[in-house]
Amino acid sequence: MKFTKQREALAKKIFSTRSHFSAQDIYESLKDRVQISRATVYRTLNLLVENHIIEEHDFGRGKKFYEFILGLESHNHLICLRCGKIEEFKSDLIEKVVDEIARERNFKVSRYSFNVYGYCSECQKELFKDEKRK
């Protein structure tokens, strides 16, 4: 693939982003600075996923999210079902369990991601305020 100005702008944006993002997020952040198509964004994202530079996630929100992973350690996610907030965390306990399972099955782990779905503290206040009154 050619390395065009569009792909250069896209790569710079992705490599400097340290949070989860959608293809639309990237497109919106670039469209006013460089002439870029959604197709270019999607093709480039797929190429970066295939080459293990970014990771694709489905957090159950009807669209794909991505994150830059090159050189980063594995981590886990807490995903709020109400507001969509994604909080990353690391856990030595989960890492030990993954290592143990891999060792038992003679499996070489390159990365892992563990997703936990529930409600963040702010959404709990709204969702469960009536229960606290009882």
Instruction: Name the residue ranges covered by the structural domains of the chain.
Output: 1-72, 73-134
H-helix or E-strand containing 62? none
Residue whose structure tokens are 């499996």: 107
In this prediction, residue 75 carries a pLDDT of 86
For residue 111, what pLDDT is reported?
83
Residues in the chain: 134
C-alpha distances (whole Å) from 88 to each of 34, 69, 113 are 31, 13, 10
Helices in 17-128 by DSSP H: which ranges?
A: 23-30, 38-50, 92-104, 121-127
Looking only at the bridges linking them, the beta strands covering 75-80 and 113-118 are: parallel
Please report the beta strands in 2-97, taking only residues with DSSP state E, as ranges in sequence order.
54-58, 64-68, 75-80, 86-89
Q: What's the pLDDT at 132?
A: 59
Q: What backbone torsions phi and psi does residue 80 show, to the nearest 5 degrees?
A: -80, 125
As its CATH architecture, domain 73-134 has: 2-Layer Sandwich (3.30)
CA distance 57 to 63: 9
pLDDT computed for residue 61 by the predictor = 73
At the topology level of CATH, where does 1-72 sit? Arc Repressor Mutant, subunit A (1.10.10)
Structure tokens at 26: 């990237």
pLDDT of the residue at 130: 64
What is the rounded distance in angstroms from the CA atom of residue 66 to the CA atom of residue 55?
5
The predicted model scores a pTM of 0.74
- Across the chain, which has 134 residues, the per-10-residue mean pLDDT values are 83 88 92 90 92 86 85 87 90 94 95 89 85 56
